[in-house]
Amino acid sequence: SQQGEEDPQALSIQEGENATMNCSYKTSINNLQWYRQNSGRGLVHLILIRSNEREKHSGRLRVTLDTSKKSSSLLITASRAADTASYFCAIPPSSGGSNYKLTFGKGTLLTVNP
C-alpha cells in the first residue's frame, strides 16, 4: 500500500484567510480521502474524491485531484478558529482485494489564529 504525503507539515494563518494543503502519492488510485483530526479526538472523514473527478466541494471545503501529477489539494475557505486541526489524506490500494486498507499520511497541522 502507498502512503500519501501531506505538505506543508504545518500551516499557520489568520481567521478569514484561506488554507491550502497538498497530498502527493506515487501510484495509481481509485479514490483519495481527506480526514480531519482535532486535538485529542479521532479522525473525521471530510470528503472523498474519485479518480475520475477533478474537483469536489463540500461547504467551505474544495478538493482537487490531478492524477497526472499524482497530487490532491484541500482548500478551506474563510477559515475559522474551529478549523484548527490536523488534516490527513488517506489512500486505499488501487488494486487487489485490500481496498479497506487506507494508508494515512503524517498530516498537515493547521492553526487558525483568531
Partner 1 sequence: DAGVIQSPRHEVTEMGQEVTLRCKPISGHNSLFWYRQTMMRGLELLIYFNNNVPIDDSGMPEDRFSAKMPNASFSTLKIQPSEPRDSAVYFCASSLMGSAYNEQFFGPGTRLTVL
- Which residues make up the interface to partner 1 (CB under 8 A)? 30-31, 33, 40-45, 48, 50, 88, 92, 98-107
- Closest to partner 1 by CB, 24 vs 31, is 31
Which pairing describes strands 71-76 and 19-24: parallel, antiparallel, or unpaired? Answer: antiparallel
Q: Are 30 and 99 in contact (CB under 8 A)?
A: yes
Cβ 90 to partner 1 shortest distance, Å: 8
- Closest to partner 1 by CB, 25 vs 92, is 92
Rounded to whole angstroms, the Cα distance separating 2 from 34 reads 15
Rounded to whole angstroms, the Cα distance separating 72 from 34 reads 10
Cβ 49 to partner 1 shortest distance, Å: 10
- Closest to partner 1 by CB, 14 vs 27, is 27
Cβ 101 to partner 1 shortest distance, Å: 6
Cβ 35 to partner 1 shortest distance, Å: 8
In sequence order, the β-bridge partners of residue 34 are 47, 89
- Closest to partner 1 by CB, 96 vs 114, is 96
Cβ atoms within 10 Å of 105's Cβ, excluding its own: 19
Q: Are 21 and 110 in contact (CB under 8 A)?
A: yes
